[in-house]
Structures are given as structure tokens and as C-alpha cells.
Structure 1
Amino acid sequence: MPKPDLNRFYPLNIAVLTVSDSRSCDNDSSGDLLSDSLVQAGHKLAARSLLPNNKYTLRALLSHWIASSNIQIILINGGTGYAKGNCTIEAITPLLDLQVPGFGELFRQLSFSQLGSAAMQSAAVSGIANDTLLFAMPGSGSACTLAMQQLILPQLDAQTGPCNFVAHIKNSPSKSCGG
């Protein structure tokens, strides 16, 4: 697999999914935060949705996005904790071809400085399905900011070394750069 040009930024097509039984499109501040962050970083918002906690509905949409040739990254917020009815992790896990355990481990480590021992209740998870990279994080604004700024956005930039995820996703421009 060719290495990406490390002197170049590649805009990626990213979908945002909010999982919530209480939010609406009018008050989805975490979905707004994720969408705004990825666009400000130079990426493209390819799709956005808000769904209630229903693992079959979530799997249906995620499967559609994973199968899409246009969507390279999926950012999911909400439904990752231990509250009754949350099912994001259960919906995502069977769809993954490969898990990226470092995302959840680092997210909880970074969250510990803000939340203390409550950080262990975050089931943040990441993985790859059909060369689509998925990140699931808690739905709070501070959790989304932490995940995006410290973990996700740096890994979606081919200029980040010593490694990043750009070369591992479908339709990656870095796969055709001849490098």
C-alpha cells in the first residue's frame, strides 16, 4: 500500500450520527460540534443523522454508510455509557472487521483527568468495517471535543506521524499518490 504524501492534507468524507432519545435536530449541540470541527479541519460532512437508541435502526443506517463508496469515516456520539437503553456499542461491535482498542483506552485515560474514576464508565470504541473508520464516543460536548481535538482529527491527517489512518480507509487519496 503506498504511503501518503506527508506534506499534504487530504479532505475526507465524514458522516456524523447522534444517538439520543432526548435530543432533536434543533438541539443536537454535540452533533453540531462534531460537524463544525470536521469542516473547520478541512474535511467534508458527507451525511448527518440523529437516531434513538435502537440497535437495529442504528445497524441499518451504519451498514448503509459502511457500504457507501462515498463515506470514509463515521463519527458517532451518544449511547455509549451504562444508562438503561443505551445500545450504541452493541449496535456497532458486530459490524466491525477490526477493532482499534487504542481509541477507547486513550479516551478513558484522557477523560480521567476531567472525570476521575467515572471515566471507566465510558465505552468509547473505534474500529474499521469495509475500510470505513468508525469512532463512537459519549454524547457530551466535552467528550466530543476531547475525542476530536486530541485523538480523531490528528489521526485523520496524513501529515501526522509516525502513523495515521488516512492510508487505511476506502478511496483514500493516499492510496493513489504513487508514494
Structure 2
Amino acid sequence: MAGRIDETLAFVPVRIAVLTVSDTRTPETDKSGDTLAARITEAGHALTGRAIVPDEIDAIRAQIRSWCSNAMADAIITTGGTGLTGRDVTVEAVRPLFDKEIDGFAAIFHQISFGIIGTSTLQSRACAGVISGVYVFCLPGSPGAVRDGWDHILKSQLDSRHRPCNFVEIMPRLMEHLQR
């Protein structure tokens, strides 16, 4: 059974930052970042940050930590660096920072991706988690993968009206572990 949008509820805009991880992309050639930015704003959310960093663990971590510590975003979506090559280090950079990992994100992403590109989905290491109360979603770098991740997962889970549940309604509780 698929979820649904309850139109009787108020929409709550989410502050979202987009991080492109690539040694070759520039602001002029960042199609995946452009795709995410457009979809985020079309959905009614605020695009609060956008950056391109090289495939380097320290650069990725520095940008994510900056956005998390400056309370610039409720969610960060990365694109790129989730593959299997030696330069693909987004997962290695981000996963150790997770306070909690959202295990089901990768499973659902692969299920959707398998229906579109078949077993080629095995080359993606999409992942998600929470860092200092901020959701972080790591998507592959292709525009198609970004569309699939946003259209089939993130668009609904970042909509406060999505039922039976969504990520927005639990945002105020993401830091509870620090209050113990």
C-alpha cells in the first residue's frame, strides 16, 4: 500500500541544502544538482545551500559539518561519489558521521532503481542517516538516479502531509539522544 498526501493538513517547508560531490562538475555542468534544486523549490521547500566539492573525504565532511553546525538545513542531499571506484568516497565520508542510519533508504532506493535500470543498481551505495539533527541523503551522481530518489522517496517523505508518516513530523525529536 502506497502512502498518500492528506490535503487537509498544512504543508511545512523544509530547509534543504544540495551538495554535489565530483572532481569534474562545475556550476555550469552540474545537471544532477540542478535537477535536485529545481525539484526542491517546485515542491515548496527552501533551497538553503548549494555547493560542489571534490571527491575527497575531508572536503565532503567539512561542507556537511558546516551546514549542520550553522543550522542552515533540516536536510542535506548529496549527489555523486556513491559508486565503487577508488574516487567514490561520499559513503566513507558521511557514514561515520551518522548518529543514526536510515537503513531502509538504501533498500527502497535499490528496489526503485532495479525496476528502472535492473542489476546495474548494484553499483550504487546510496545511503541516508541523521547527523546532529539533520537528515543526510546520499544519492548517486546521475540525473536519473537523482530524479528517482527525489520523485519516489524524498518528495513524499519530506512532505509534512504524507501519511501514514513522514520525516518532517519527527524532526523536532532527532536530538533526543543528546538530552539523556
TM exceeding 0.5: yes
Query: 1:64 matched to which residue of 2?
Result: 66
CA distance in 2 between counterparts of 1:103 and 1:42 reads 22
Q: Shift in Å at residue 50 of structure 1?
A: 0.3
Q: Shift in Å at residue 118 of structure 1?
A: 1.5
Q: Shift in Å at residue 94 of structure 1?
A: 1.0
Query: 1:51 matched to which residue of 2?
Result: 53
Question: What SS does structure 1 have at the residue aligned with 2:38?
Answer: helix
Q: Shift in Å at residue 158 of structure 1?
A: 1.1
CA distance in 2 between counterparts of 1:151 and 1:98 reads 18
Q: 1:128 to 1:11 in 2, by over 3 A?
A: same
* TM superposition outliers: structure 1 runs of 4+ over 2 Å: 167-172
Q: Shift in Å at residue 17 of structure 1?
A: 0.3
Larger RCO (CA within 8 A; separation ≥ 6): 1
Alignment of 1:75-90 (within 5 A): 75-90=77-92
Query: 2:99 matched to which residue of 1?
Result: 97
Percent identity over the alignment is 36
Q: Shift in Å at residue 67 of structure 1?
A: 1.4
Q: Shift in Å at residue 115 of structure 1?
A: 1.7
CA distance in 1 between counterparts of 2:80 and 2:172 reads 25
Name the Cα RMSD after superposition.
1.7
Unaligned runs of 5+ in 1: 173-179
CA distance in 1 between counterparts of 2:98 and 2:111 reads 23
Alignment of 1:15-164 (within 5 A): 15-164=17-166
**Partner amino acid, structure 2, of 1:34:** L
Q: 1:39 to 1:54 in 2, by over 3 A?
A: same
Query: 1:165 matched to which residue of 2?
Result: 167
Q: Shift in Å at residue 10 of structure 1?
A: 0.5
Task: Verify the 8 A CA contact 1:6 1:160 in the aligned structure 2.
Answer: no
Query: 1:12 matched to which residue of 2?
Result: 14
Q: Shift in Å at residue 171 of structure 1?
A: 9.7
Number of aligned residue pairs: 168
Unaligned runs of 5+ in 2: 1-6, 175-180
**Partner amino acid, structure 2, of 1:75:** I
